Structure 1
Amino acid sequence: MNWSEMFFQSWNGIVRTLIVGTLAYGFLVMSLRVSGKRTLAKLNAFDLVITVAFGSTLASILLSESVALAEGATALALLIALQYAVTALSVRSARFARAMRAEPSLLLRDGTPLPEAMRRARVTHEELDAVVRTEGRGGLHDISAVILESDGSFSVIAGPQGASTP
């Protein structure tokens, strides 16, 4: 490949990308709307993997001339169908749901960190302090609970109304 081909190979490639990209994007948006809000919910690691897979599949459709639009659309539809099946099974089976998603972890109770829970969740004391500061609290003593949710976010439950604030 010479230097000029690194920046421009042919108009055919650009036209293909425009046409296939537009059609693939439209197909993905339509499919996601039909499949429901849960398809892209960021609730757990499985959902994150599916989201990354959507992006990777769309990129393959757009940039690889060896992937036909029909094949790419089939791959996207398969990912959406599998995500739908997993979420449907999760709603119907608590056992399956536990296997697919992490349970929330209680990291602090009544102002006291729970070291074993923090170790399992790989959360440091400094991170716990930062979460509490983000909530505008002076320290751990102002907090009833800190929970690491299944999506990786933290929930902070304030202490009693009489607790001091900064």
Structure 2
Amino acid sequence: MFDFWTGAEGLPVYGFIIRACIVYIYVFVLIKVLGQRSMSTLNPIDFLFGVIIGDVIGEPLADGEVPLGGPLAAAAFIGGIHLFLSYISLKMPRYRRIIEDEPILLIEKGHILHEELQKAKVTVDSLLMDLRFNNAIDLMEVDYAILESNGQISVIKKSKYDSLTPNDMGQSPVSKGYPSVIIEDGLIIEANLKKFHDRAWLHRTLKQHGYNDATEVFLMMLDNAGNVYISGKNESQTV
């Protein structure tokens, strides 16, 4: 009856399905416990965690004779180690550089640091590609380029090439805040709508933009400044 847990030769298909459900829920809970950090960036410690967890949890899904309890216990132990190391990295800066790599300067004051490129094993082509991703096509505009601990390259442009901001022009625009979804795939998100307006306002706004009701709208968003974005199911427009 519990062959899906203890393992058995010739485990039936439903046993693998039950195992897959258990493992999926288990890993989902484990990631929730560890926090969003484990998924947001790919530091070496996070990469190591992902590889080991995948190997430990994947075996009982492929081999029906392997008991499920052992791999789950091992995964929990590995998750505990990962959480402990993350805590040390957060609370003890002295040991942080042992666990996480220190950022490496690749370009300093507009000059490419060749020795640092070799140390980081970054080719010139790779550096130029990452600069293009950061909208820094012209090397003359780059002041600093840093290889971060997650493997990404961040770019700081020279001040004279910074984009002009409203503050530079002596203006103080109203903060847009965090935009809220009002309609998603034809369904009105009542909780978000109540934060700003009522149904009467919603219907008036839809009429103004050529929609009869919410069912014709794929996505509608509203920010604190009153800006509305509406994308219909058959066409899109921004207001």
TM-score (norm 2): 0.59
Contact 1:21 1:62 in 2 (8 A): yes
Aligned counterpart, 1:67: 66
Equivalent position SS for 2:150? coil
Aligned counterpart, 2:105: 106
Amino acid corresponding to residue 154 of structure 2 in structure 1: S
Equivalent position SS for 1:67? coil
Q: What is the aligned residue count?
A: 154
Distance 1:74 1:129, change over 3 A: same
Aligned counterpart, 1:117: 116
Matched, 1:91 2:90: yes
Contact 1:104 1:149 in 2 (8 A): yes
Aligned counterpart, 1:52: 51
Contact 2:89 2:100 in 1 (8 A): no
Equivalent position SS for 1:107? strand
Contact 1:109 1:146 in 2 (8 A): yes
Equivalent position SS for 2:41? coil
In the alignment, the residues of structure 1 paired with residue 146 and residue 122 of structure 2 have an alpha-carbon distance, to the nearest angstrom, of: 11
For structure 2, the residue ranges without an aligned partner over 5 or more in a row are 1-8, 163-239
Equivalent position SS for 1:161? helix
Distance 1:76 1:161, change over 3 A: same
Contact 2:134 2:154 in 1 (8 A): no
Equivalent position SS for 2:145? strand
- Deviation at residue 145 of structure 1 after TM alignment: 0.7
Amino acid corresponding to residue 102 of structure 1 in structure 2: D
Which structure is higher in strand share?
Answer: 2
TM-score (norm 1): 0.82
Aligned counterpart, 1:150: 149
Which structure is higher in helix share?
Answer: 1
Instruction: Give the fraction of aligned pairs with identical amino acids, expressed as a percent.
Output: 25
In the alignment, the residues of structure 1 paired with residue 21 and residue 15 of structure 2 have an alpha-carbon distance, to the nearest angstrom, of: 10
Aligned counterpart, 1:14: 13
For structure 1, the residue ranges without an aligned partner over 5 or more in a row are 1-8
